Chains A and B, each alone.
Chain A
Amino acid sequence: MSPKKTGKKTAREQSVGAGDRSASPHGDGLRRVVITGAGTINALGHDVETTLAAFREGRSGITALNFRDVDRLSIQIGAQIHDWRPEDYFNRQQILLYDKFTQFTLLAAKQAVAQSGLAFHGALGLRSGVILGTAGGGLNTWDDNYRAVYEEGKNRVHPFVVPKLMNNAAASHTSMEFGLRGPSFTVATACASSNHAMGLAFQMVRSGAAQVMLTGGSEAMLCFGGVKAWEGLRVMSKDACRPFSANRNGMVQGEGAGVFVFEDYDHARARGAEILAEVVGFAMSSDAQDIVMPSAQGAERAITGALRDAGLNPDQIGYINAHGTGTAANDKTECAAVAHAFGHHADRLMISSTKSMHGHLIGGTGAVELLACIMALRDGIIAPTIGYQEPDPECALDVVPNEAREAKVDAVLSNAFAFGGLNAVIALRSI
């Protein structure tokens, strides 16, 4: 199937997530895990329906940035949520306590829980939790308050600064909002945060440690300090995100959140819940090599590990939602990893980067990208890589350029490869 990949034993040893399991994907008393709710807010829309419509239309959410001191930035574009009015969703006291990354999370979580139809009273609340990813946490809160004390010379800050900026604030407020009394925490692995979070939530339900997990992630890094920090690395594009295109010139930041309900399959079936997709595999790997440059071998180990964990053959994968940042380094490395992991099948599967539309949500990106995976499985529509202009021989895969495509796929992967060499890949299949 994939002649160049490492032997079975080695791949298993090298990836975490592939526990001791029989060949059957659902053997050994492990629980099956399904998605019964989804929610999002991002630059493409304030809900799942609008976001998926944008995916189908190949619409970009990347626009001119608009916030304080933007004129002092050399990067002037981003996938910003321009029409965000927290007062439409939260009262004055909540707005004082919730950083924007928490606000985005709660909005997405409410949509997801509403779709699932779950209420977490009594025993279910005790057996349910929330694991979220974020890289920057309350970065706007840091930015505003540093400005107050350093630039404006103030000697007093609001008492809620710490509870507002802490990276676990969104997870904690989500637990409070729904009465989730089981395992809850936040994962920060840069651009792979959401995939790590969702993978851990999957493992928790699969192992029986929890019955329902809310999971996903959020990011709100589009403020002066957030973008200025990224400018320093000189990997940002000044004009567009063009993943896999030979003339790509960098990433474009986005913001928002994606939250999902991961539920024990038997529990979902028993209550007649609508099932969006099944989560079947997850693997993580570390490059152990460089703090910013990615490794094809590390990425490949996460991909093959996820397939093995899912009990899927490479030729069963019809679509991959790529990490696809639009940087020179990521895209060619990712394509090399996919080509190596899938062998001849790499030329038959589809791989697209939706970051071309919603931007790079850093710690929240995998969550929004999982929506494209669900759309592929449920609706048979593959989200495109927009902004694609010139073929790159180093990215010679079917990247679904510029226009969405109808195709029936039964199993998909979602890739995330973080700065620091931390890789996390999730496998879903239709049900």
Chain B
Amino acid sequence: MTGTIKSRIKSIIAEQAMLEPDQISDDSTPEDLGIDSLGLVESIFALEEEFDISIPFNANEPDKSDFDISNMGTIIAAVQRLVAQKAA
């Protein structure tokens, strides 16, 4: 299940970044992937739609958000947490 979530997240981000999923590693940052602020907001929207979750993210203070966007690893962990919370 975890692997499935991870691969779904990777394919969403890959589509946004116009890359192949295997080009994305856990330590890739949005910047590394060429995702700008609008691209990030779009990616978050796509993740919300895919998993039917609500991601707390304010573009004005990305660092203060509970949703850590530092790199793919933190994004995947945060989405997994939100999906688990939803199931609970």
Interface set of A (CB-CB < 8 Å, partner B): 74, 232-238, 248-250, 291-293, 327-329
Q: Chain A: interface secondary structure?
A: loop
Q: Does A293 contact B60, Cβ atoms closer than 8 Å?
A: no
Q: Which chain B positions have C-beta within 8 A of A74?
A: 54
Residues B45 and A232 in contact, CB atoms below 8 Å apart: yes
- Flag whether B61 is at the interface (Cβ < 8 A): yes
- Chain A residue nearest to B55 (CB atoms) is A234
Decide if B44 touches A234 in the complex (CB within 8 Å).
Answer: yes
Given the complex, which residues of A lie within 8 Å of B38, measured CB to CB?
291-293
Contacts of A328 in B (CB 8 A): 59-61
B58 within 8 A of A: yes
Min Cβ gap B59→A in Å is 5
Q: Cα distance A237–B64 when bound, in Å? A: 13
Q: How far is the CB of B41 from chain A (nearest CB, A)?
A: 5
Let me know if B51 is at the binding interface, CB within 8 A: no
Nearest first, the 3 closest Cβ-Cβ pairs linking A and B are A328-B60, A234-B59, A250-B60
Smallest beta-carbon distance B64→chain A, Å: 8
Q: Quick one: closest B residue to A251, CB to CB?
A: B60
Inside 8 A of A329's CB, which chain B residues have their CB?
37, 60
Contact A237 B41 (CB under 8 A): no
Q: How far is the CA of A312 from the CA of B44 in the complex (A)?
A: 47
- State in angstroms the CA–CA spacing of A236 and B60 once bound together: 8
CA distance A74 to B44 in the complex (A): 15
Please determine whether A293 and B58 come into contact, CB atoms closer than 8 angstroms: no
Taking a contact as CB atoms under 8 Å apart, the answer to whether A327 and B60 are in contact is yes
Instruction: Pick from A233, A248, A291: contact of B59, CB below 8 A.
Output: A233
Give the Cβ gap from B46 to chain A, nearest Cβ, in Å: 12
Other than the given A234-B44, A292-B37, 4 more pairs (CB < 8 A) read: A232-B45, A234-B58, A248-B60, A327-B59
Q: How far is the CA of A250 from the CA of B44 in the complex (A)?
A: 18
Contacts of A233 in B (CB 8 A): 41, 59
How far apart sit A328 and B37, CA to CA, in the bound complex (Å)?
A: 12
Instruction: List which B14-64 residues lie within 8 A (CB) of chain A.
Output: 36-38, 41, 44-45, 54, 57-61, 64
Nearest CB of chain A from residue B67's CB, rounded to whole Å: 11
Contacts of A237 in B (CB 8 A): 58, 60
* With contact pairs A232-B45, A234-B44 given, residues A249 and B37 touching in the complex (Cβ less than 8 Å): no
**In the complex, A233→B58 CA distance in Å?**
9
CA distance in complex: A232, B45 (Å): 8
Q: How far, in whole Å, are A238 and B64 apart by their CA atoms in the complex?
A: 14
Distance A235 CA – B59 CA, assembled complex (angstroms): 6
A235 in contact with B45 (CB, 8 Å):
no
Whether A249 touches B45, Cβ cut-off 8 Å, given contacts A292-B38, A293-B37, is: no
Contacts of B37 in A (CB 8 A): 292-293, 329
Q: How far is the CA of A414 from the CA of B11 in the complex (A)?
A: 46
* Docked CA distance A234–B44 (Å): 10
Q: Which residues of A contact B60 (CB under 8 A)?
A: 235, 237, 248-250, 327-329
| Closest partner residue, chain B, to A234 (CB atom) | B59
* C-alpha spacing A235/B58, complex, angstroms: 6
Determine the chain A residues whose CB is within 8 A of the CB of B36 once the complex forms. 293
The one of A232, A250, A291, A292 that contacts B58, using a Cβ cutoff of 8 Å: A250
Kindly list chain A residues whose C-beta atoms are within 8 Å of the C-beta of B54. 74
Interchain CA distance A8-B58 in the complex, whole Å: 41
Cβ–Cβ < 8 Å partners of B45 in chain A: 232
Q: What's the Cα separation between A320 and B29 when bound, in Å?
A: 39
Complex alpha-carbon distance, A233 and B37, angstroms: 10
Residues of B with C-beta under 8 A to A327: 59-60
A sample of 12 cross-chain residue pairs with beta-carbon separation below 8 angstroms, ordered by A number, consists of: A234-B44, A234-B57, A234-B58, A235-B59, A237-B58, A237-B60, A238-B58, A250-B59, A250-B60, A292-B38, A293-B38, A327-B59
List of B residues within 8 angstroms of A238 by Cβ: 58
The smallest C-beta distance from A327 to any residue of chain B, in angstroms, reads: 5
The smallest beta-carbon distance between A66 and chain B, in angstroms, is 23
Residue of A nearest to B38 (CB): A292
Min distance, Cβ A264 to any Cβ of chain B, angstroms: 44
8 Å CB contact of B61 from A236, A249, A293: A249
CA distance A232 to B58 in the complex (A): 10
Q: Are A249 and B41 in contact (CB under 8 A)?
A: no
B50 → A minimal CB distance (Å)? 16
Residue of B nearest to A235 (CB): B59
Q: How far is the CA of A292 from the CA of B40 in the complex (A)?
A: 13
Residues of B within 8 A of A236 (CB): 58
In the complex, residue of chain B having the shortest beta-carbon distance to the beta carbon of A326 = B60
